[in-house]
Structure 1
Amino acid sequence: MMKTRKFSWAKFKNSKLFALGVAICAFLLITPMLHLPAFSATPSAKIQFVSPNWVVENAKDPNLRILDVRNLPLDYIDGHLPRAVNIADTAFRGPREGLPVQYWDNQRLGQIFANSGVTNNSRVLVYSDDRDVLGATMVAYLLERSGVRDIAVLDGGYKGYEAASQTITKEFPQYKVARFTVKDNPTVRVSLNEVKKLIGNKGVRFIDPRPADLFQGKENIWLRNGHIPGARNIPWPTFTDAENPHKLKSLDEIKKILADKKITPADDIIVTCSTGREATLQYVVLKHLLGYPKVRVYEGSWTEYSTQSDLPVATGPEQVS
């Protein structure tokens, strides 16, 4: 009896029916995985805006790295946060294939972070000053893009920290060059090819934080001037305090700005600007502070888009229906 069963099973394993069954089982197992969002495999990062008091409370954490990304080295030398390392935000970009101010490749970004004492497990605080909140959010974005998970931006920047009468130093920090391996997170950005497919799609919202004259194409800067059709114009300073552009408005005020532009958490949001720097402020606010689930940056932005003669360009005020 046992021999008969073994023989029958052997015949079944060699049959087309068995092969078909295996294929169906494999399909049922793999198909759900194919539909999982790409970011599910990437550990989630957190970017927060923090107060000067937060800096004081966390100052003794040996795992905290502080990046002063002001572009003038003498500003840093004249005074900075204790343990802060100066790396200008301009150091993170350069030419690529003829396009200016593009983000460096992953290897170079990793070297910059390593030389600044950042490891893959570091907590990182970033700050700048004056209108350069964009430099701080840009570096915070690049840290997330590179796999760092715990990132903070100093709300109010250096000016706000100094006004709060917190400790300022002229001493340079002592630290070792770290080991940093970029764990690229592609879910935070879109490419030019993806932008081409997204234009005009239902549920997709392009946000353009450039000044109104650039958005409308009134200034003759690029080969072609204007904006991506359907984009909403929200100049980045509308998110910040008038007296200190490095400090954010309240989240309730920002929510109203977005609602007036008919932008909702359900939208697939792409933030695009001039060079991929301005976009990072609204990316951080929408994704990390407001919790909008689908927000990405088009890094090439208008610098790249405007060179594509086959792509549509709109001019004049936005059309909010």
Structure 2
Amino acid sequence: MAQNLNDPKLKILDVRINPLEYITGHLPKAVNIADNNFRGPNGFLPVQYWQEDKIGSLFAAAGITNGDRVVVYSDGRDVLGATMVAYLLERSGFRNVAVLDGGFKGYKGSEQKVTKEFPKYQPGSFTVRDNPSIRVNLAEVEKLIGKPDVVFIDPRPEELFQGKQDIWLRNGHIPGAKNIPWPTFTEANNPDESLKNPHKLKSLDEIRKILAQRNIKPSDNIIVSCSTGREATLQYIVLKHLLGYPKVRIYEGSWTEYSTTDLPVATGPEKAV
């Protein structure tokens, strides 16, 4: 990362939500655009991704142009904001994007340069080229439930998956879904406090073992569905781009949308197969 800071095509997005964290210290060249800027109400549901033109204007305002290379980072559990923004870039047809493994904590801990100076930059020229192949909608989800080659992964906490918390109109999960809480792929629960970091992934071999234990195969047609379409982005990126699983998509409406329908709901622990 540090070796490429002088590359004019390299753009860095700091998507931490609290601006004071950015002001206190950030990566050189990093532009702060909080991840919650990219979502809002759509007339039917809360916290949905904005329309394509608005998403494009946000990236342009942060200095992004279609031919750039982009690195996104946040800190701690807000790694989900970084993976979400990276997903939205891919969704917009942008190809060259990465999430900084370890996030701000990992970068600072490696004694790389951190600055308080704000970068001077020009707005970018960003054209959205919608990529619908990486997502599914509610109608598609309805058709996929119960299909033998389809695996729904639900990265929410166990309490939400089982329907123990009264949050939505209906609580529980899509029938047949496998519950793999998103921190499972990260060092969020490392027993060594010095290594505990939700923004740091476990080794790919460790993640492969987790998937094998759950009988999730590269040949599966995988749909990741969470609470609001944010948590799902971490597992989507790991499965598709780091492990090379070819058929991985996100159900963006996730449980916020699904719970408003009359489609079947399962509660309690994941059913053994």
Q: TM-score range by the shorter chain?
A: over 0.9
1:146 aligns with 2:92: yes
User: Partners in 2 of 1:223 and 1:231 — Cα distance?
Assistant: 19
Find 1:131's aligned residue among 66, 77, 80: 77
Number of the residue aligned with 1:308 = 261
1:180 aligns with 2:130: no
Q: Secondary structure at the match of 2:129?
A: coil
Number of the residue aligned with 1:90 = 36
Summarize the alignment of residues 1-321 of structure 1 with structure 2, pairs less than 5 Å apart: 55-241=1-187, 242=189, 243-309=196-262, 311-321=263-273
Q: Choose 1 or 2 for highest CA Rg.
A: 1
Number of the residue aligned with 2:193 = none
Alpha-carbon deviation of 1:259? 1.0
User: Partners in 2 of 1:259 and 1:227 — Cα distance?
Assistant: 22
Provide the alpha-carbon RMSD of the alignment.
0.6
Q: Secondary structure at the match of 1:131?
A: helix
User: Partners in 2 of 1:80 and 1:100 — Cα distance?
Assistant: 30
Alpha-carbon deviation of 1:130? 1.0
Amino acid at match of 1:159: K
Q: Secondary structure at the match of 1:75?
A: helix
CA-to-aligned-CA distance 1:172-216 (integer Å, 9 cap, x gap): 111111111100000010001100110001100000000001000
Alpha-carbon deviation of 1:282? 0.2
User: Partners in 2 of 1:307 and 1:252 — Cα distance?
Assistant: 38
Q: Secondary structure at the match of 1:247?
A: strand
Alpha-carbon deviation of 1:320? 3.2
Q: Secondary structure at the match of 2:64?
A: coil
| Residues 239 and 254 in structure 1, CA contact (< 8 A), matched pair in contact too | yes
Number of the residue aligned with 1:42 = none
Alpha-carbon deviation of 1:108? 0.2
Which of the pair is proportionally richer in helix? Answer: 1
User: Partners in 1 of 2:246 and 2:3 — Cα distance?
Assistant: 30
Report the number of matched residues: 266
User: Partners in 2 of 1:108 and 1:87 — Cα distance?
Assistant: 14
User: Partners in 1 of 2:163 and 2:93 — Cα distance?
Assistant: 36
Q: Secondary structure at the match of 1:213?
A: helix
User: Partners in 2 of 1:266 and 1:320 — Cα distance?
Assistant: 20
User: Partners in 2 of 1:178 and 1:143 — Cα distance?
Assistant: 14
Alpha-carbon deviation of 1:152? 1.1
Q: Secondary structure at the match of 2:201?
A: coil
User: Partners in 2 of 1:172 and 1:98 — Cα distance?
Assistant: 38
CA-to-aligned-CA distance 1:12-46 (integer Å, 9 cap, x gap): xxxxxxxxxxxxxxxxxxxxxxxxxxxxxxxxxxx
User: Partners in 1 of 2:128 and 2:47 — Cα distance?
Assistant: 20
Q: What is the percent sequence identity of the aligned residues? A: 70
CA-to-aligned-CA distance 1:110-144 (integer Å, 9 cap, x gap): 00000000011110000000111101000000000
User: Partners in 1 of 2:73 and 2:218 — Cα distance?
Assistant: 28
Alpha-carbon deviation of 1:260? 1.2
Alpha-carbon deviation of 1:98? 2.6
Unaligned 5+ segments in structure 2 are 190-195
User: Partners in 2 of 1:190 and 1:125 — Cα distance?
Assistant: 26
| Residues 146 and 182 in structure 1, CA contact (< 8 A), matched pair in contact too | yes
